[in-house]
Structure 1
Amino acid sequence: MSMRLSLLAASAVLVFASAAFAATPQSKPLSPSQQKMADCSHAAKGKTGADYKNAVSSCMKGDTTAAAAPAKMTPQQRMSACSKENAGKKGAEYKSAVSACMKAH
């Protein structure tokens, strides 16, 4: 009987503990500086290394010119954009137009 009572008491403690844990808020609201850091980090998404650090740093300082600069396109993105620009061309004309476009971007 004592074993049943112990198991019942342990179960009750677990139920009350889990209910108390569920009632507490899981995360505190971000402070203004934490929110700004999150926003700047989100704005610099896709950048890596020094580019990321510089973008976040300038954003945190309030520099809007760095955030307004377009992100550098990957070679695949450049090729896709150049292909769309020269969609009606064929053969050598297409190849030279895409090549010039790739060099320009």
Structure 2
Amino acid sequence: MKKLFVLCAIAGFTAAVHAAPEAPAKNSQQSKMATCNAEAAGKKGDERKAFMKECLSAKPAAPVTQQDKMKMCNADAAGKKGDERKAFMKECLSAKK
């Protein structure tokens, strides 16, 4: 009888663990919706509709590649030479943009 009780308890626990729904990860559209909703606080009616349409259709900014950074830093370093240029380029390329 004890074995039967233990087996039922284990089976019930296993079923409960496997039946528990996992929270789905937010996809990018859901994240965008949450962000836009927060920014639209206080807006109502047509103003809110227009804002949400604009916000949700906005494309995310393209990440700056290392090659793009190099081009920008080279342009900014025009006229600098030697150690001054080297120090400037090091700081410019390591800066977060």
Same fold (TM over 0.5): no
Compare relative contact order (CA 8 Å, sep 6+) and give the higher one, 1 or 2: 2
Q: TM-score range by the shorter chain?
A: 0.3 to 0.5
TM-score normalized by the length of structure 2: 0.41
- Normalized per residue, which structure has more helix? 1
